[in-house]
Amino acid sequence: MNRIAVMTSGGDCPGMNAAIRSVVRTGIANGLEVFGIEQGYKGLMENRIKLLESKDVANMIQRGGTFLKSARSLEFKTDEGQQMAVGNLEANGIEGLVVIGGDGSLTGARILHEKFGIKVVGLPGSIDNDIYGTSISIGVDTALNTICRAVDMINETASSHDRTFLIEVMGRNCGYLALMSAIASGAEAVIIPEVKYNIESIINKIKVRYVEGKSRSVVIVAEGAGSAYDIGKAFQLIGGFDTRITVLGHLQRGGAPSVFDRTLATRLGSAAVKGLIEGRTGVMAGLGNREISFTPLSEVLTKKRDLDETMLKIAEELSL
């Protein structure tokens, strides 16, 4: 193997640049030419492929987002689009590919591997932390720190006005961000799609907290469990609370990556390159028991990563 390429696809997340940097420099250290594909599968179809040197990734480890940029592509889902992408890989002499992204991006990697025989290794890059085969994905730790800083600041104004705040966080249909940030920020309740919730029960619990002398309440709502605005209306109508809504939105996907995300992305990027050199393909590199391991993309994309029941119990006990 002489030439490999790296790309980011789907939603961006903190740590992607660190992963790209690791792929580039690990590849160069092992005698490979490393190419960067701009704008994901869209750029691959448009042949937006360029050689990356060590200097091109200097001062990238601390930057959020992805300097290779990202884009979603419906055309890549077609046979014609896939043929264009494969043709461009072959025209550039690229023998191995590292794809960084979420389940949609990894689905594309699986297609390239299974349908066209492209040697590919995926890396989990998504703040949702819903990807099977890794205990945590690139960007999750940074997103959690961002959420907790925001909740801490909101707590201060909530205490000043005896208000109830509902804070909506990202995660699609996974409640990981909501659950972990609720535990870490001391929220009174968390609403996630994996667990059925009762609005009246939550309201009654908060009323008890106010009677006990609590001057504010914070409820974390996962976007997949419903709109914080709709839930907030119920809080006002049923509970009579002075309620405010904050939707953190894309704030959670920005900012410089944490130390954990920088090191995780670096380890995964290095493992991906060495995996390709060793002949691994059709797999994703992930973190398990503090060690890097490889999981077939077929498993990654067909198995579900469940929330930790222990953390669910802890959240319930600490919110009493």
Is 73 annotated among the ligand-binding residues?
yes
Tell me, yes or no, whether 125 and 175 share the same domain. Answer: no
Alpha helices in the chain (DSSP H): 16-29, 40-45, 79-91, 103-116, 140-161, 176-185, 199-211, 228-234, 259-277, 297-300, 309-318
Q: What is the pLDDT of residue 212?
A: 82
- Among residues 204, 174, 170, the alpha carbon closest in space to that of 189 is found at 204
Give the bridge partners for 244, in sequence order. Answer: 165
Distance CA 47, CA 90 (A): 11
Consult the annotation and say whether 250 binds a ligand: yes
Find out whether 165 and 215 touch, Cβ atoms under 8 Å: no
pLDDT tens, the chain, 320 aa long: 999 999 999 999 999 999 999 999 999 999 999 999 999 999 999 999 999 999 999 999 999 999 999 988 889 999 999 999 999 999 999 999 999 999 999 999 999 999 999 999 999 999 999 999 999 999 999 999 999 999 999 988 877 767 889 999 999 999 999 999 999 999 999 999 999 988 899 988 888 888 887 777 899 999 999 999 999 888 888 877 788 999 999 999 999 999 999 999 999 999 999 999 999 999 999 999 899 999 999 999 999 998 899 999 999 888 76
Whether 253 has a binding-site annotation, put simply, is yes
Distance CA 142, CA 127 (A): 8
10 labeled part of a ligand binding site = no
Q: Is residue 90 part of a domain?
A: yes
Q: What is the CATH number of the domain that holds 150?
A: 3.40.50.460
161 annotated among ligand-binding-site residues? no
**Domain-located, residue 235:** yes
As annotated, the active-site residues are 128
Residue 79, domain extent: 3-139+257-300
- Rounded to two decimals, the pTM is 0.94
CATH of the domain at 294: 3.40.50.450
Same structural domain for residues 153 and 187? Answer: yes
